[in-house]
Amino acid sequence: MAAELVNHQIAVLVAVGGDPSALAAKAATSKIPIVFAIGGTDPVELGLVASFNRPGANVTGISLLPSPLDGKRLDLLHELVPSAAVISALLNPNYQQAVAQTRNLREAARAIGRRLQILNASTDTDLESAFATLLQQRAEALWIAGDPFFDTRRDRIIALAARHRIPAIYQSGDYAQAGGLISYGVSFTDGYRQVGVYAGRILKGAKPSDLPVMQSTRFELVINLKTANALGLTIPQSILLRADEVIE
């Protein structure tokens, strides 16, 4: 797909949706300006740019960096369900960031003195099995990893959490807006807007090498009170006061 776009002799190539898109774009052209949006991976370590301040060549973009927030989401879930002695986490083992996510979670779980149960899912069947396991083990709280596969199954995951009546925390506001209980993470709206700003500047003559890679600085906490009420869960005032959006 990247090669096809390059063959159309486009003026700028925007690559969003994760590391594979950005890497495919870079592999397809060394001349057409590229603006990427990636999350969880250091674009320097990935080989997309030379450095954040001086990206070099024809590539720049936005680093959404949700992985450092893994532990913060676990802290919020613990604050929301303090009685949960064991916290379950749903990850996709095929995702490039799964190892880092697991490491971050284990460190955060040790810090709050809670046991962590890791469940893996990379297919629809895996999702059903994971939630069945949660039911069997009477899980009291669930942490959902930031993952492209999970994003494509957002409504299904939210429905499964509702069916099994388990409080779950997600990485982005669209989960809470779609019926999930609570979400905390970078503002993807703000990040993608900046991608558009960079694309516009390049169309007006700016060079990618002169545009430093930007990192997300805006984070959003979204709470769905309708879902909380359906679960019979009271959201602590300490969390409500910090929320950027409360869905009633």
The owner of tokens 């199954």 is: 153
Residue 143 lies in a domain: yes
* CA separation, residue 111 to residues 18, 104, 114, 139 (Å): 30, 11, 8, 20
pLDDT of residue 142: 97
* CA separation, residue 124 to residues 18, 73, 168 (Å): 21, 24, 18
The count of residues in the chain is 248
Residue 240 lies in a domain: no
- Burial of residue 247 (CB within 10 Å: 0-12, 13-18, 19+) is middle
Helix/strand/coil for 88: strand
Beta-sheet strands, E only, within the chain: 13-15, 34-38, 59-63, 86-91, 115-120, 142-144, 168-170, 182-186, 214-215, 219-224, 245-247
pLDDT of residue 66: 61
pLDDT of residue 139: 87
Instruction: Give yes or no: residues 161 and 78 share one domain.
Output: yes
**Residues 190, 40 contacting (CB under 8 angstroms):** no
* CA separation, residue 161 to residues 106, 122, 148, 181 (Å): 22, 17, 18, 9
Q: What is the pLDDT along the chain (248 residues), one digit of tens a residue?
A: 999 999 998 999 999 977 889 999 999 999 999 999 987 778 998 899 999 999 999 999 999 866 668 999 999 999 999 999 889 999 999 988 899 899 999 999 999 999 999 999 999 999 999 999 998 888 899 999 988 899 999 999 999 999 999 999 999 999 999 999 999 998 888 999 999 999 999 999 999 999 999 988 789 999 999 999 999 999 999 999 999 999 99
pLDDT of residue 195: 96
Instruction: Give yes or no: residues 8 and 48 share one domain.
Output: yes
pLDDT of residue 48: 94
**Residues 99, 126 contacting (CB under 8 angstroms):** no
**Residues 106, 52 contacting (CB under 8 angstroms):** no
End-to-end alpha-carbon separation of the chain, Å?
42
Residue 245 lies in a domain: no
Instruction: Give yes or no: residues 128 and 34 share one domain.
Output: no
pLDDT of residue 135: 86
Instruction: Give yes or no: residues 93 and 159 share one domain.
Output: yes
CATH code, domain with 9: 3.40.50.2300
Instruction: Give yes or no: residues 81 and 163 share one domain.
Output: yes
Angle (CA) 167-133-230 rounded to 5° is 25
pLDDT of residue 67: 60
Whole-angstrom Cα distance, residue 114 to residue 105?
A: 11
Instruction: Give yes or no: residues 75 and 158 share one domain.
Output: yes
Instruction: Give yes or no: residues 93 and 166 share one domain.
Output: yes
Q: Which domain holds residue 73?
A: 67-170
Strand 182-186 to 219-224 pairing: antiparallel
Instruction: Give yes or no: residues 57 and 141 share one domain.
Output: no
Instruction: Give yes or no: residues 61 and 102 share one domain.
Output: no
Instruction: Give yes or no: residues 77 and 111 share one domain.
Output: yes
Residue 83 lies in a domain: yes
pLDDT of residue 242: 95
Instruction: Give yes or no: residues 6 and 85 share one domain.
Output: no
Residue 236 lies in a domain: no
Instruction: Give yes or no: residues 88 and 162 share one domain.
Output: yes
